[in-house]
Amino acid sequence: MSLSKKASDMLDYNGYRYKKDNHLILFRKAGTDRVGLTIVIIVSLVFVGLIFALQWWAGLIALIVAFLIFRPLVKRIPGSLKLVIDPEKKIVEIDNRTRAYNFDQIFGIYIHSKFVDEYSSAFKSTSEEHQITIGLELDNQKLAPLFKLISDHAKPSKEMNEVYDFLESSIKAKNFA
C-alpha cells in the first residue's frame, strides 16, 4: 500500500516528505519554515538592538512588540520529525530512535482537529484555520503526535484521512479496534 499523489502533495504542502524505501516507510519534516523564521527573528533582533542603542525605552517597546508578533508564529511551527515505520521488525521510530515503539505498544492512530485562527482571504474556502493532528495512541494512554497539518475546515480532508488510514494499515497493532 502506498499514498496517492494527492495525499503526498498535501503532506508536501504542509512541509512533510514521504518516501517508501524497500520495506521501510519514511516521513520527514522539512526545516525550511524554521530556517526562514529564524532569519527573520535574527534580523528583527538586530534592529531592536539598534533601537536600544538609541533609546532604551524605545528598544524595550520594540522588543515587546517583536515578542507579541513572533510568539504565535513560533508556536505554529510543528518542529522536526523523522518517522520510520518498519513493518518487518514491527517498530515505529521517531526522531532517529529518540522514541521507538513496538507495534504492541500502539493501541491505535488518532486524528484530532483544533481551531487555530480566523483570517480573511479571497483564496480560501473559509475564513478559519484548523490544525489537524495525526498521531499514535500508546499503551500508557499517552498520545504521540506525528503530523500537524493545516486545514480550512474542522473536518479532515480526504487526503488527511488517507494518511490516517495508511498509518493504521501500516502499523497493524494487535490492539486496534
Contacts of 159 (CB under 8 A, 6+ apart): 4, 6, 7, 9, 10
Can you give the pTM of this predicted structure? Answer: 0.70
Ramachandran area for residue 15 (φ above 0: left; ψ -120 to 50: alpha; else beta): left
pLDDT of residue 124: 59
Q: What are phi and psi of 160, to 5 degrees?
A: -65, -40
Over residues 74-129, the pLDDT tens digits come to 766 655 678 899 988 899 998 866 788 889 889 889 999 988 777 765 565 667 88
Decide if pLDDT at 176 tops 60: no
Over residues 53-65, the pLDDT tens digits come to 999 999 999 999 9
Distance between CA atoms of residues 167 and 165, nearest Å = 5
Over residues 135-169, the pLDDT tens digits come to 999 887 888 888 988 888 889 999 999 999 999 99
Mean local confidence (pLDDT), 162-177: 77
Decide if pLDDT at 42 tops 70: yes
Q: Residue with C-alpha cell 520529525?
A: 81
- Looking at per-residue pLDDT, the higher value among 173 and 26 belongs to 26
Q: Are strands 91-94 and 106-118 parallel, antiparallel or unpaired?
A: unpaired
Which ranges of the chain does DSSP label H, i.e. alpha helix?
A: 5-13, 32-54, 56-76, 158-170
Mean local confidence (pLDDT), 18-45: 83
pLDDT-based confidence at residue 174 (cuts at 50, 70, 90) = very low
- Tell me the domain boundaries of the chain: 5-31+79-170, 32-76
